[in-house]
Amino acid sequence: STYRASREGCRPIRVSFEFFPPKTEEMERTLWSSIERLAPLHPSFVSVTYGAGGSTRERTHNTVARMVRETNLKPAAHLTCVNATRDEVDEVVRSYWDVGVRHIVALRGDPAEGVGSAYAPHPGGYRQTCDLVAGIKRIGDFQVSVSAYPEKHPEAASLDADIDALKAKVDAGADRAITQFFFENDVYLRYVDRVRARGIDIPIVPGILPVQNFKQAANFARRTGASVPEWLAHRFEGLDDDVDTRRLIAGAVAAEQVLDLVDRGIHDFHFYSMNRADLVYAICHLLGLRAERPAAAERAAA
């Protein structure tokens, strides 16, 4: 296959994983066992989201700080402009710097009332994401990632207006964009062409959502403006009560998507892990990544 050929071309595959901060002790255990399983794959970074309306400020910070203390991972903290003054946001940024975090995923965020309600900037806050990016860069030499929307952000007037917003974030210092998830690779590749034509040259890393639960993913997609192709719905048809088959299909669908992207020259992937390791681990394995075995295990095996 051409996939094999491109692997033999030896451009390394790089991956990053996204997690959300756990709400309960049980969720915390699931998260940390997922992190332990995925860490040996040596992701370029792992990111931790910031709850809608800034609701997880403490939990995001605690999760990221624990990653710094207890792992060799390079964590990235998501941060939004919502519900906070500039001083408050700057304080969060400084507290990340102080614990050794050097990468922030800068976002506008959605209103505390949820996606769909009108967004109004906090009177004393950062108005737009590009302002937040500039603010973060003023505070410290952070790597800053931002979002990108191959199918347009629901609030943007047009795809071109959306790409203008991305350009403003790049001009403010963004180093990398991570896309909203998508299921049609052509949509992503066409978007990258348009972004390049606009003179934007930072990496536009595809955000991959392995669909664990089709109904949930379809709902999520509706709210974020990502389309759900008919063929995808068809693949999960009739499997609502069949978790095992659904998981096999989910793995196959995501594998097909990333291997096709590799064939088409893409080598960086950001996985929305939903705090679960299995599917992501399997897909990374197919991409050629192998867990580094701890030295002690190597010795025991020798």
* Catalytic residue positions, numbered: 18
Binding part of the chain for ligand FAD, among 25-33, 100-108, 232-240, 252-260 by CB under 6 A, reads: 100-108
Q: Is residue 255 a contact residue for ligand FAD (CB under 6 A)?
A: no
Closest approach of Cβ 224 to ligand FAD, in Å?
7
Q: Is residue 50 a contact residue for ligand FAD (CB under 6 A)?
A: yes
Closest approach of Cβ 286 to ligand FAD, in Å?
23
Cβ proximity of 132 and 81 under 8 Å: yes
Query: 6 or 129: whose CB is closer to ligand FAD?
Result: 129
Query: 114 or 265: whose CB is closer to ligand FAD?
Result: 114
Q: Is residue 268 a contact residue for ligand FAD (CB under 6 A)?
A: no
Query: 6 or 47: whose CB is closer to ligand FAD?
Result: 47
Q: Is residue 275 a contact residue for ligand FAD (CB under 6 A)?
A: no
Tell which positions 106-135 bind ligand FAD, by CB under 6 A: 107-110, 119, 128-129
Q: Is residue 156 a contact residue for ligand FAD (CB under 6 A)?
A: yes
Tell which positions 21-40 bind ligand FAD, by CB under 6 A: none
Q: Which positions lie near ligand FAD, rule CB under 6 A?
A: 49-50, 52, 78, 80, 105, 107-110, 119, 128-129, 147, 153, 155-156, 161-162, 165, 169, 178, 180, 207
